[in-house]
């Protein structure tokens, strides 16, 4: 394996692209699979858990890794597309080893040495060309007014406690890694964690981040996680979610639990969710987002651009602003029209947004079917469209991502697309 660094820290590998011999990116690194034997022997690295397009996780044996350099991983190009399933004899470094409590052995100290938690692990190639875990990065608990405890990077053999299962294992350093990922990537990692580890992570994530991750998880995972939270926190999480995602999740709960959570939510937030639940499945009303960018006719182009700069808006929601009569909370006063962001960028900032409206855009009705919504967006080359009631009041907006969420088959997050330029075999290179 040419040009490979002597030692590679695993936390730095996560998220790196994996390339085939032609230079095409085929996957991303998500975790490392190792075989833990005894604390005296260095664990052998079996391979990497990689995410391929379509969010499927596969196993890439280390025998298929040809090079690891700064910022990328290279493979032979021959990958087994079978979904990764962890075996009982295997351990995930990121998912299970981080935050494990260990002791650094020091015979000179009374009690055997210092204790801390694992925040990273390094691997390197042994003389027989196998990859093994060689070093452990440990952080001591904070003491006194120090914000962080002292850190140590020590040899594997100098640490004890790595092979023990901890029912109360923390999640601080895994949470730090998850917070650096996009919500969809963090959701994939959480999806594959063992049940006990997942519970620890969910308990440690803040409400806003957990809401973002929940929106990206399969429906069964969403329900399982929410049902294991206490009712007060579950209601807080639902408030942090977008109203349409919260409505979809509540619809999957049993009616008693759903009613309890709606009763605990803030009245305004619960009202939006109840309104979405009142529409038939797979209609514009059920799919729409009730909080698009809404402005009054006297707002300026500068006002509109300030609103669409909000980083919490999806690109589809930021593509249109809707101009309505008072009130500006949905259901609004009469919808006057919508303005495309491209048009806004061409106009002087002091111009009234009402002068930039696209008055040719027909709104959707809340009972429009999924096919009608798809045809409408496709016909007019739109990524979003307004939804109005019989009186012309804006109820919300359907975006192309809302539509795709409902059009894709159940369980689409776990399905891989056609392999494309990834060579797929029934078991090539598997050493597990």
Is the bond preceding 327 in cis, omega lying within 30 degrees of 0?
Answer: yes
Same structural domain for residues 327 and 265?
Answer: no
pLDDT at 143 over 80: no
- pLDDT tens for 367-381 read 999 999 999 999 989
Is-above-0.95 flag for pTM? no
Residue 170 φ/ψ, nearest 5 degrees: -75, -175
Q: Once rounded to an integer, what is the mean pLDDT over residues 36-47? A: 84
Alpha carbons within 13 A on the beta-carbon side of 37: 11
Assess if residue 179 is contained within a domain.
no
CATH of the domain at 376: 3.10.580.10
CB burial readout 38-67, b (16+ within 10 A) else e: ebeebbbbbbbbbbbeebbbbbbbbbbbbe
The average pLDDT across 240-250 equals 92
Q: Which residue has the tokens 């579950």?
A: 234
Check whether residue 300 and residue 392 sit in a common domain: yes
Asked if residue 200 belongs to a domain, the reply is no
Lowest-pLDDT range, 125-134, 230-239, 344-353?
125-134
Instruction: Let me know if 221 is exposed, middle or buried by CB neighbors in 10 A (0-12, 13-18, 19+).
Output: middle
Kindly state whether residue 121 falls inside one of the protein's structural domains.
yes
Contact 245, 215 (CB under 8 A): yes
Domain membership flag for residue 416: no
pLDDT digits (tens, 9 = 90+) for 180-194: 888 888 888 888 788
- What is the domain extent for residue 105? 95-160
pLDDT score of 425: 45
Whether residue 425 lies inside any domain: the answer is no
386 in the same domain as 304:
yes
Q: What is the CATH number of the domain that holds 76?
A: 3.90.50.10
pLDDT band at 57 (very low <50, low <70, confident <90, very high): confident
The answer to whether residues 333 and 395 touch, using CB atoms and an 8 Å cutoff, is no
Query: Are 299 and 401 members of one domain?
Result: yes
Does residue 420 carry a pLDDT above 50?
Answer: no
Q: Which pLDDT does position 411 carry in this prediction?
A: 64
* Co-location of 382 and 317 in the same domain: yes
> Does the pLDDT value for residue 272 go beyond 80?
yes
Q: What would the two tokens of residue 38 be?
A: 């005894």
- Domain C-terminal end among 105, 125, 160: 160
pLDDT of 109 reads 56
Q: 397 and 333: one domain?
A: yes
**pLDDT single digits (tens) 352-406:** 999 999 877 889 999 999 999 999 999 989 999 999 999 999 999 999 998 998 8
- Assess if residue 431 is contained within a domain: no
Q: State how far the Cα of 285 lies from the Cα of 385, in Å rounded to an integer.
A: 12
Q: Are residues 349 and 398 in the same domain?
A: yes
Number of domain units in the chain: 4
Do 136 and 238 fall within a single domain? no
- DSSP conformational letter for 352: B
Kindly write down the DSSP assignment for every residue of 389-400, as one continuous string.
-TT-BEEEEEEH
Whether 418 shows a pLDDT value over 70: the answer reads no
pLDDT in tens, 58-80: 999 999 999 988 789 999 988 88
Task: Give 163's pLDDT tier (boundaries 50, 70, 90).
Answer: confident
Instruction: Say what the pLDDT of residue 178 is.
Output: 86
Query: pLDDT higher for 33 or 405?
Result: 33
Residues 304 and 334 in one domain: yes
The DSSP-derived string for 206-275 is -HHHHHHHHTTS-HHHHHHHHHHS-HHHHHHHHHHS-HHHHHHHHHTS-HHHHHHHHHHS-HHHHHHHHH
What's the token pair of residue 80? 């087994």
CATH of the domain at 233: 1.25.60.10
Residue pair 125/8 in contact (Cβ under 8 Å)? The answer is: no
Closest CA to 370 of 280, 263, 259: 280
Assigned domain for 167 exists: no
Where does the pLDDT of residue 165 fall: very low under 50, low under 70, confident under 90, or very high at 90 and above?
A: low
pLDDT of residue 330: 93
Among the three residues 251, 278, 305, which one is the final residue of a domain in this structure? 278
Distance, CA of 150 to CA of 93 (rounded, Å): 22
- Please state, in angstroms and rounded to a whole number, the distance separating the CA atoms of residues 132 and 114: 24
Residues 6+ apart with CB under 8 A from 350: 300, 301, 302
Q: Give the model's pLDDT for residue 146.
A: 58
191 is a domain residue: no
Q: Compute, in degrees rounded to 10, the torsion defined by CA atoms 325, 328, 329, 333.
A: 0
CA angle 26, 31, 34 (to 5 degrees): 120
Q: Are residues 82 and 100 in the same domain?
A: no
Answer with the one of 31, 60, 88 that is the final residue of a domain.
88
């Amino acid at each position: 394996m040419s040009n490979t660094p002597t030692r590679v820290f695993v936390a730095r590998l996560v998220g790196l692209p994996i390339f085939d011999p032609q230079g095409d990116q085929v996957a991303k690194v998500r975790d490392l699979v190792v075989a833990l034997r005894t604390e005296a022997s260095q664990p052998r690295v079996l391979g990497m858990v990689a995410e391929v397009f379509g969010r499927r996780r596969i196993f890439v044996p280390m025998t298929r890794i040809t090079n690891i350099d700064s910022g990328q991983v290279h493979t032979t190009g021959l990958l087994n597309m079978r979904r990764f399933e962890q075996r009982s004899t295997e351990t995930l470094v990121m998912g299970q080893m981080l935050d494990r409590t260990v002791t650094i052995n020091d015979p000179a100290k009374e009690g055997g040495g210092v204790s801390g938690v694992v925040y990273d692990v390094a691997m390197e190639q042994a003389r027989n060309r196998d990859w093994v875990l060689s070093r452990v990065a440990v952080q001591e608990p904070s003491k006194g007014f120090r914000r962080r405890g002292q850190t140590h990077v020590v040899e594997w053999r100098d640490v004890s406690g790595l092979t023990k299962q901890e029912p109360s294992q923390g999640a601080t350093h895994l949470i730090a890694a998850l917070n650096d990922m996009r919500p969809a990537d963090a959701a994939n990692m959480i999806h594959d964690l063992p049940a006990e580890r997942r519970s620890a992570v969910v308990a440690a994530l803040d409400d806003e981040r957990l809401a973002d991750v929940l929106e990206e998880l399969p429906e069964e995972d969403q329900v399982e996680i929410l049902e294991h939270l206490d009712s007060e926190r579950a209601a807080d999480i639902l408030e942090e979610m977008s109203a349409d995602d919260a409505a979809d999740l509540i619809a999957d709960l049993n009616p008693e639990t759903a009613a309890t959570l709606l009763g605990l939510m803030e009245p305004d937030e619960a009202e939006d969710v109840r309104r979405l639940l009142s529409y038939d499945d797979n209609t514009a009303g059920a799919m729409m987002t009730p909080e698009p960018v809404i402005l009054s006719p006297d707002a300026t182009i500068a006002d509109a651009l300030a609103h669409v700069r909000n980083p919490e808006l999806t690109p589809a929601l930021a593509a249109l602003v809707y101009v309505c009569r008072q009130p500006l909370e949905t259901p609004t006063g009469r919808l006057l029209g919508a303005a495309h962001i491209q048009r806004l960028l061409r106009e002087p900032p002091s111009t009234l947004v009402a002068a930039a409206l696209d008055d040719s855009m027909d709104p959707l009705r809340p009972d429009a079917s999924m096919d009608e919504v798809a045809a409408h967006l496709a016909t007019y080359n739109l990524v979003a469209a307004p939804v109005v009631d019989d009186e012309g009041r804006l109820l919300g907006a359907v975006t192309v991502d809302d539509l795709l969420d409902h059009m894709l088959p159940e369980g689409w997050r776990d399905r891989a697309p056609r392999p494309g330029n990834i060579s797929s075999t029934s078991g090539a290179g598997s050493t597990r």
